[in-house]
Every structure is written in structure tokens, then in C-alpha cells.
Amino acid sequence: MEVHETSHCRRTVPNACRLHDMTSCKLLLCLYISDPLVECIHRLDLHGNAEQWWVSDAPVGLSVNANHNLIVTCREVRKIKEFSPSGELLRGVILPDDVTNPMHAIQLTSGQFIVCHGHRYDPVHRVCKISSDGRHVVQSHGGQPGSDTGQYNWPFHLAVDDNEFVFVVDFNNRRVTLLSPTLEYVRQVVSRDQLKWGPIRRCLDVQRRRLYVADNKWDVDKNKYTAGRVVVFSV
């Protein structure tokens, strides 16, 4: 485990209101950022040039699929939307009724989706593999919220490696869980003892086998995050 504090450059995101998630495209060398307050996606290139797309629903989790299209999770309406790199809406996928409050989705090369869902007081918190048309839950892991190895308490963010093993950021349990391609429990790759506050995002470097976890402090009285760091794990 390593804690990294490095120098950085800054980019301005014009007309941003509330930035929720971000992802990048290695082919196009651009950054996508979701803004649920104004229901849009911000796109920045290496030179800082910015574009803005309307989603028409509040976007939360973001990922890029094998076709270099943007996969946008819209929690409130239980939808996944696919956009081209230029911002054209290609399709919308409505998730099954029992997939409530989806937070993040990643599309596999098969076309199926890995989705984590469950928010605060929802009765079910789990990770699902969902058919490419969004109609069926193929496999799942989790159920009633809790802290056992087969449970989650607000599964918030996902990563999938080249072998389709799934890394799940479990926010309230302060851990990252590793699942097999068939969503069977493998092990905890990050435990609560290895984090100072709470995991909120992650980035998986497949080539270097490193997992970068955002470890943030939530101040209940101020109703905002007041501190944070990035912790790096070898996986």
C-alpha cells in the first residue's frame, strides 16, 4: 500500500455545478465528468478544450466501453445511457424493477453490464450482471445490506480488469471487494483498517496492477467532504 501526494495540473470545467464522477478514454485522450445538478456531461481534451452534453436525466457513474462510447448511469430513473464520443445518444437501457438506485455500470465485451445498486435505506444492496438489453439479472452478489463477506452497505463504484474480475467499492463498509467473473466472492483487496476515512471512487491500472482509491472524510455537521487523499494498492 502506498499513499501518494504529487504535483498536478489544473483544468477549468466551464459552467460546472456539481461534479459527481469522471472517467477517461485512452484512445481519444479525453476526460468525461458527470454533473447531476444540471443533468449534463462535461468533456475535456488534453488542451483543456471543453464541451457540454445534455443527458436529460441526472447522470452519476461513468465508464467507457470497448467501442470507446460513454456509459452513463442515471440513478433516479434506473437507466443506462450510451453516448458516442461526440455526445450523440446511441441508446437507453431501462434496468429491471428490482435494481433500485444504480450507482455505476460497466459494459463487458459480451455486451452485458456489471451494475452496483442500493442507496442508504434500500432493502437490497448488491452487484449484478445484467443482460445487454437490460431486462434480466444474469448473476448477482449481495442482498440485504450488512457487513458480512456476502453483503454490502452502499456499493458505490466498480472496476473490471481484463479477465473480468470485479472490484467493488463498498462505501459504508469502508472496503473494496474482489469478485470473480461469475460474481462469486474472492477476497477483500482493501480492508477498513487500510483506509483512514471512506472510499468513494477508484481507478484500476490494469497494466501495473495498481488500484487507486479515493479516501475522503465526510463532515456531518458541515454536510460536505473536508479532506481526502489517494491510496494506492498492488492488486
At 46, the pLDDT band (50, 70, 90 cuts) reads: confident
Cα distance between residue 140 and residue 23, in whole Å: 25
125-130, strands of its sheet edge to edge: 102-107, 113-117, 125-130, 137-143
Write out pLDDT tens, residues 148-196: 999 999 999 999 999 999 999 999 999 999 999 999 999 999 999 999 9
Give which of 53, 58, 56, 94 is closest to 70, Cα–Cα.
Answer: 53
Do residues 169 and 202 lie in contact, with contact meaning Cβ atoms separated by under 8 Å? yes
What is the model's pTM?
0.93
Residue spans per domain, the chain: 12-204
Reply yes or no on whether the pLDDT at 16 is more than 90. Answer: no
Q: How confident is the model over 14-32, as a mean pLDDT?
A: 91
- Identify the weakest region by mean pLDDT among 9-18, 58-67, 86-95, 136-145: 9-18
Q: Which superfamily, per CATH, for 12-204?
A: TolB, C-terminal domain (2.120.10.30)
Question: What is the pLDDT at residue 187?
Answer: 97
